[in-house]
Amino acid sequence: MNGVVIKKAQLIAEDERRKIVSILNGEIGVRDIHILFMKKGEQVLGQHYHTFSEVCYILSGKAHYKLKNRLTNEEMEVDVEAGDVMFRDAFVTHSCIASEDCVMIDGASDTWINADWNLYPEKLI
């Protein structure tokens, strides 16, 4: 789907001392980072979109996303799991339900102010 890219995070170095995993490498400039601790079965992310790009990295667990590109009307559903990275462009409506307990690192190309400022609600079909 246009506006959404999902890939595995890249292992860039590992030895007996440490492991380094690259989540992003210039795909978007990140101005805000959150850590989401999601409980199985809970809809954590409502049906909304932003006017900026986002990236999320699944640190542990699994989640199910419903996505819709508001500019092309393309829709997609996808399951993500530990090690997956999802890039979402602006105007991609997203909704997320944790398939199992999940920890996600979420970054945005704009600063988070509050829901009234940053979120645009939309009902997914």
The CA distance from 51 to 56, in Å, is 16
- Helix residue ranges, H only, 1-122: 115-118
Which CATH number is 67's domain given?
A: 2.60.120.10
Q: How many domains does the chain have?
A: 1
| Phi and psi torsions of 80, nearest 5° | -120, 155
pTM of the model: 0.86
Q: What is the pLDDT of residues 5-54, one digit of tens each?
A: 999 999 999 999 999 999 988 888 999 999 999 999 877 667 889 999 99
Among the residue ranges 65-69, 94-98, 112-116, the one predicted with the least confidence is: 112-116
**90: containing domain:** 4-121
| Whether pLDDT at 74 is above 80 | yes
Beta-carbon contacts of 118 under 8 Å, excluding residues fewer than 6 positions away, are 50, 110, 112
The CA distance from 89 to 112, in Å, is 16
Token pair listed for 15: 């030895």
